[in-house]
């Protein structure tokens, strides 16, 4: 077996959720020795640039999760404001992006996965995005871990889908089929000027929880698919560039649009670095 194959195999036999929840409890610990040791080692290992943070002193945070979801200085992430522009939702790197062809999305070399599976088996929902476009952004450990709105949108639905907690880095994407449609995730649906938009927050190994700004902590929740319908219950609208969710420890955000709705920036391709707010694409739908 190659090194990459061994890494993927190890994830199958690791008690993913037990390990992730245990790390999550440590990440919430406010004991100064525990949290300062954890934060200090993390900053050093991943070379975290604290000069970008609103609070640049890593040891002053209440706990590791508070540090990990740190706010960034807004002047360092200007939101693209050209007419019809789409803003990048997160710091990180493009995993893949392109068209949703025959109801599947491209994961990595040799692997595609089902749109319907990604959306929790809801065929009616997936029909809204058939023939559309997708972009997958991977947030590495050193990155800013809040996810922001690509376009202004009115929230219509949120779906929690339980699943595995495989890592979602490049090696795993190339080795484990359907990883994004197998992992625990939260699907957020919005009405926008480009039609329906989905922002999907995908959990991963060591991710303690996923939060949204309107619901707070969403995962871990339970073993069943849970749906919140916001279409008539509220008028939640979030502007382009505003925060919509965050990861307590990192993962991946996937953005979906319908057919002929948007075009991605021509310069973007797999492994392109991203910064939240940068131009991500253009709305083509009138």
- Coil vs helix vs strand at 68: helix
User: Choosing from 111, 145, 148, 160, which is the catalytic residue?
Assistant: 148
Calculate Rg over the CA atoms of the chain.
18
CA distance 28 to 42: 15
Cα four-point dihedral sign 40, 46, 51, 52: negative
Q: Which of 85, 95, 209, 251 is catalytic?
A: 251
Please enumerate, as own/partner, the contacts of 220-225 that have beta carbons within 8 Å and a separation of 24 or more. 220/17, 220/21, 220/184, 221/160, 221/162, 222/162, 223/162, 224/162, 225/120, 225/121, 225/159, 225/160, 225/161, 225/162
Annotated catalytic residue 126: no
Q: Would residue 91 show up in a list of annotated catalytic residues for this protein?
A: yes
Catalytic-labelled residue, pool 20, 85, 91, 122: 91
Q: Is 229 a known active-site residue? A: no
Catalytic residues: 91, 148, 251
């Amino acid at each position: 077996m190659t090194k990459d194959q061994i890494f993927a195999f190890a994830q199958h036999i690791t008690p993913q959720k037990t390990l992730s929840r245990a790390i999550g409890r440590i990440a919430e610990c406010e004991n100064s020795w525990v949290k300062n040791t954890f934060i200090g080692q993390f900053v050093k290992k991943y070379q975290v640039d604290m000069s970008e943070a609103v609070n640049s002193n890593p040891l002053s945070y209440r706990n590791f999760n508070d540090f990990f979801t740190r706010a960034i200085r807004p002047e360092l992430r200007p939101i693209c404001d050209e007419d019809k522009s789409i803003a990048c939702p997160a710091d990180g790197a493009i995993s893949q992006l392109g068209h949703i062809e025959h109801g599947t999305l491209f994961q990595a070399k040799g692997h595609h996965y089902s749109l319907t599976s990604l959306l929790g088996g809801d065929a009616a929902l997936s029909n809204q995005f058939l023939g559309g476009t997708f972009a997958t952004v991977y947030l590495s450990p050193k990155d800013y871990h809040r996810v922001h709105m690509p376009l202004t949108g009115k929230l219509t639905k949120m779906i929690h889908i339980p699943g595995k907690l495989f890592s979602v880095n490049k090696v795993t994407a190339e080795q484990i089929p359907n990883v994004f449609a197998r992992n625990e995730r939260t699907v957020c649906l919005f009405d926008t000027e480009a039609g329906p938009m989905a922002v999907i927050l995908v959990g991963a190994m060591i991710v303690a929880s996923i939060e949204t700004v309107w619901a707070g902590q969403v995962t871990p929740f339970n073993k069943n698919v849970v749906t919140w319908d916001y279409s008539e219950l509220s008028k939640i609208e979030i502007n382009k560039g505003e925060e919509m969710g965050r990861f307590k420890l990192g993962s991946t955000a996937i953005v979906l649009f319908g057919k002929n709705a948007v075009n991605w920036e021509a310069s973007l391709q797999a492994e392109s670095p991203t910064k939240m707010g940068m131009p991500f694409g253009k709305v083509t739908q009138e």
